[in-house]
Amino acid sequence: MRDPTQPPAGPELADMLETAHPARLQHDERLSELLLSEADLIDQDARGLTFDSSRLTDVDLSGSLLPDMRLAHVVIERCNLANVRAPRAAIRRTLISGSRLTGVDLADASLTDVTIRGCRMDLASLRSCTLERVSFEDCLLAQTDLLDATLKHVAMVDCDMSRADIRGAKLDRCEMRRANLTGLEGVTSLRGVSMPWPDIVEMAGTWAGALGIRVLED
């Protein structure tokens, strides 16, 4: 019997959150049990920033430099994280929904118990990341870089992964359902992934190309 993909555990937030309106984010700052809403925080520079047990709604962090960022028990809704550079981030028990993450850089990051739902995450870098119990649902992941990443119990449902790069990635107990894999780089790294039979048949041309199989004309 196949070992099923384990779903991510969700964030747990306090019943009451304190409303915050920071003008700037600081190095090594810890923000706990806060509600940030409709905040304009473009182009921040804050190394070692921590969000803990907090909710971010309609926050614009685009273009920010946030290396070594820590997120734990965080809900992110309708935020703009485009071109955020957060290498070596540690993200756990976090839900990201309806947000823009185009070009986000999470190289060498770790994501544990994370759900990313209804997000635009194209041209993102997850290079050399470790993802465990992560769910991507209805996301645009076109041209996303997963080079040399490690994925364990990762589900991708209704996602566009066209021209994504998974060369050298290691997948363990992962599932893909109704994923667009057109032009995927590193198809052979999908060895061991689980997919519905109709999806496998639909991608027959991709599998043949990866194996060097030539199609004979009748």
33 falls in which pLDDT band (50, 70, 90)? Answer: very high
CB atoms within 10 A of CB 218: 2
DSSP 183: T
Q: What is the mean pLDDT of the chain?
A: 93
The 3-state DSSP class for residue 204 equals: helix
Q: How confident is the model at residue 205 (pLDDT cuts 50, 70, 90)?
A: confident
pLDDT tens digit sequence for 53-104: 999 999 999 999 999 999 999 999 999 999 999 999 999 999 999 999 999 9
Mean pLDDT for 192-198 is: 89
DSSP 120-167: B-TT-B-TT-EEEEEEEES-B-TT-B-TT-EEEEEEEES-B-TT-B-T
Summarize pLDDT for 114-147 with one digit per residue, the tens.
999 999 999 999 999 999 999 999 999 999 999 9
Return all residues near 19 (Cβ < 8 A) that are at least 6 apart: 34, 35, 37
Query: How far apart, in whole angstroms, are the C-alpha atoms of residue 108 and residue 100?
Result: 20
Cβ 111 vs Cβ 95: under 8 Å:
no
> Which helix or strand (DSSP H or E) is residue 18 part of?
strand 18-20
Least confident of 13-27, 48-62, 190-204: 190-204
Q: Residues 140-176: pLDDT tens digits?
A: 999 999 999 999 999 999 999 999 999 999 999 999 9
User: Would you state the pLDDT for residue 1?
Assistant: 41
Residue 4: burial class (beta carbons within 10 Å; 0-12, 13-18, 19+): exposed
CA angle 203, 206, 208 (to 5 degrees): 110
DSSP 5: P
Answer yes or no: are the C-beta atoms of 155 and 175 closer than 8 Å: yes
Closest CA to 31 of 41, 177, 210: 41
Q: For the domain 24-211, what is the CATH code?
A: 2.160.20.80
SS3 of residue 48 by DSSP: coil
Q: Could you please report the per-residue DSSP string of 60-123?
A: B-TT-B-TT-EEEEEEEES-B-TT-B-TT-EEEEEEEES-B-TT-B-TT-EEEEEEEES-B-TT
Tens-digit pLDDT profile for residues 1-22: 455 678 999 999 988 899 998 9
